[in-house]
């Protein structure tokens, strides 16, 4: 891509476009080091500020990482596949690890998760979906999931407190067979789920928990699980950084009667 002072866009945008094109077509491969700021200044005959603005655009897009004083490098991206339709499928697990840990360990990656459990007043969107009365409390399992040392997503699950009090759900540790099975054992098996997906910018708390760079949008996935009687018993909120995930949703055609 030609970079020219007569171009329609400012120089820093043209430089960013040129580098982005090289990343897209593989001329700049994952982990490759970009030309230094001094080299880019000479190459395009521009100021340091112009070069820094161009690199800043690519950093904000998640294409490049800054590793000062070494320089800027093309980010290696190995996205996680998020499958909403897998909610009630039987998942592989071991006696030591839950489904998330088992699945990604099998792929040769290094998963881990930080788990916190608390009793709280639910956010309004959770209270509404659980049909809770004012003042009712919930148990929340807050998880940040990591792959290869990088925080990949947030998964926070809310349960009416009177359903799960004194159960394994209240412990801040892996539940190898999954919280859904614990609920079922307590007499609240989920047979249906409503999922909602929004795309927005992250909140400050989400940015902090996920160590997000500026300008990174997130997918905001809400899942409400219902029993056979139609009672909502769980709301799971998953926050998916747009530069770290592929959302794969499988559809089946219903046969005509």
CA 96 to CA 174: how far, in whole Å?
8
Question: Is-contact 183 234, C-beta < 8 A?
Answer: yes
| Dist. CA 35–CA 22, nearest whole Å | 12
- Closest by CA to 153, choosing from 240, 25, 228, is 240
Which residues, in sequence order, are bridge partners of residue 235? 158, 224
Instruction: Report pTM.
Output: 0.75
The span from the CA of 204 to the CA of 216, in Å, is: 12
- Read off the pLDDT of residues 222-239 as tens digits, 9 standing for 90 and up: 999 999 999 999 999 999
Average pLDDT, the chain: 88
Query: Over 60: is that where the pLDDT of 199 sits?
Result: yes
Flag whether pLDDT at 142 surpasses 80. yes
Q: Provide mean pLDDT across the span 177-206.
A: 94
CA gap 194, 172 in Å, rounded: 26
Q: Exposure string (b/e) for 47-79, b if CB count within 10 Å is 16 or more?
A: eeebbebbbbbbbebbbbeeeeeebbbbbeeee
101 vs 156, higher pLDDT: 156
pLDDT in the model for residue 91:
56
Evaluate whether 21 touches 1 at the Cβ level (below 8 Å). yes
pLDDT digit string, tens, across residues 74-91: 988 777 788 777 766 665
Q: How confident is the model at residue 214 (pLDDT cuts 50, 70, 90)?
A: confident
pLDDT digits (tens, 9 = 90+) for 27-40: 999 999 999 999 99
% of the chain with per-residue pLDDT over 70:
89
Segment 10-34 shows an average pLDDT of 93
């Amino acid at each position: 891509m030609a970079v020219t002072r007569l171009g329609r866009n400012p120089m820093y945008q043209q430089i960013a476009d040129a580098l982005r094109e090289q990343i897209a077509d593989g001329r700049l491969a994952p982990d490759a080091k970009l030309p230094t700021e001094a080299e880019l200044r000479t190459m395009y005959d521009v100021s340091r500020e112009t070069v820094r603005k161009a690199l800043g655009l690519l950093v904000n897009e998640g294409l490049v990482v800054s590793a000062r004083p070494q320089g800027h490098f093309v980010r290696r991206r190995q996205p996680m596949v998020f499958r909403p339709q897998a909610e009630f499928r039987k998942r592989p697990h071991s006696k030591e690890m839950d489904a998330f840990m088992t699945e990604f360990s099998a792929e040769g990656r290094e998963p881990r998760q930080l788990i916190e459990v608390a009793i709280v007043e639910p956010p309004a969107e959770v209270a509404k979906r659980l049909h809770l009365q004012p003042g009712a409390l919930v148990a929340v399992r807050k998880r940040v999931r990591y792959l290869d040392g990088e925080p990949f997503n947030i998964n926070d699950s809310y349960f009416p407190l009177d359903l799960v009090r004194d159960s394994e759900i209240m412990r801040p540790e892996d539940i190898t067979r999954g919280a859904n099975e614990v609920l079922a054992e307590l007499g609240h098996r989920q047979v249906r789920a409503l999922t909602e997906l929004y795309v927005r910018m992250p909140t400050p708390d989400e940015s902090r928990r996920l160590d997000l760079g500026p300008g990174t949008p997130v997918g905001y996935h809400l899942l409400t699980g219902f029993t056979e009687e139609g009672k909502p018993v769980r709301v799971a909120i998953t926050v998916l950084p747009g530069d770290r995930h592929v959302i794969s949703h499988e559809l089946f055609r219903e046969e005509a009667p």
